[in-house]
Each structure stands twice: as structure tokens, then as C-alpha cells.
Amino acid sequence: MKKKWRGTVLFVAILMVLGLTVGLKLYRSGLSLPAATTSTQPASPGPQSAPTATSTPTPSAAGHAPVQATPPAGPVTVSGNVEQTPYGPVQVSVTFAGTSITGVKELQAPTDRERSVEINRYAEPILRSEVLKSQSGHVDTVSGATYTSEGYARSVQSAIDRL
């Protein structure tokens, strides 16, 4: 035999390096794999389940601050910043009930071209759903709508920060 195991060892080493790289990226971004989550704390920033007078929101590793621990009385709607993108402005308003995000409404969207309008029609419902699910401005980018997704997330986060 001519040392056939060398290829296997090399293959295993490459897989280990790739696994560590992905793990470090997830760790740095503050995300965790769903199967690896064993604690009762949410993996992504979100509302505090039992707010206390001494708790203060702190920015997460991903740079997004959670919703404040002191809830306002009744539903409150807060407008986010107007975020400029290469294809036009993006602005949303976020409705809160206590510390939970209950609604997101688009106030401004890119309209510079028909294609921008078409992309926005596709991306906006997905982004709204992601915000409601994550209860934060930390959302995945919609494929084909990168600038809109980033502007949407920043506007949502600015509304959360204003609460």
C-alpha cells in the first residue's frame, strides 16, 4: 500500500478548519446553531421575559440593542430613521405592546426604478416577518434585496433604540 490514508487525513483536517471558521463567525456575530442552544436565554437579541428595575439593555455582539426592559403603557408606534440606500430611502415604523414588537409598517421604500419597486414588493413582507419573529432589528438579508434589507434593519433598530 502507498499510504492511502494521507488523503483521508488531509480531508478531515480541511473539514475541521472549515468547521472552526464557521463556528468563530457565528460566535463573533452573537448567533448560535439551533441544535447547540441549550440555555433558556434567546440566541438573538430580543425582549426580556422578566424585566427588573436593575436590568439595562446592552448591545449584543452583533451590535443590535434589545428592546428596553421598561415597557411603555399601551401600544406605542415609533418611526425609525430614514435610511438612504443606493436605490432610494427606506423607513419603517414599529409598533410595540410592552416590550414586544407587534407590527412593522413600511413608510418609505426605494422607487427610483420599476425594478426597485418590484424587488421591494417581494422583500418587504419577508423582512416584516423576520422582524416579528426575531423581535429585533437583526434580520437576515433577503437575496436580491441586500440594500433594502440593510436599510430596513437599520430603520427598525433605530425605532427600537427610540422606545
Q: Report the C-alpha gap between 57 and 13 in whole angstroms.
A: 41
Q: What is the mean pLDDT of residues 88-110?
A: 93
Q: Report the C-alpha gap between 49 and 162 in whole angstroms.
A: 20
Q: Is 60 exceeded by the pLDDT of residue 48?
A: no
pLDDT for position 163 = 80
25-52 burial by CB neighbour count: b if 16+ within 10 A, else e? eeeeebbbeeeeeeeeebebbbbbeebe
Q: How does residue 150 score in pLDDT terms, banded at 50, 70 and 90?
A: very high
Residue bearing the bigger pLDDT, 97 or 6: 97
Q: How does residue 74 score in pLDDT terms, banded at 50, 70 and 90?
A: confident
pLDDT in tens, 127-137: 999 999 999 99
pLDDT for position 70 = 60
* 19, amino acid identity: G
- Cell (9 digits) for 80: 425609525
Beta bridge partners of 93: 79, 105
75-162 has which CATH code? 3.90.1010.20
Our CA dihedral for 149, 155, 160, 163, rounded to 10 degrees, sits at -160
Q: Report the C-alpha gap between 137 and 135 in whole angstroms.
A: 7
Q: Report the C-alpha gap between 59 and 135 in whole angstroms.
A: 14
Q: Is 80 exceeded by the pLDDT of residue 156?
A: yes
| Reported pTM | 0.56
Task: Tell me the CA distances in angstroms from 105 to 9, 18, 22, 65, one per residue in order.
Answer: 53, 40, 34, 20
Q: 17-31, 49-63, 82-96, 120-134: which has the minimum mean pLDDT?
A: 49-63
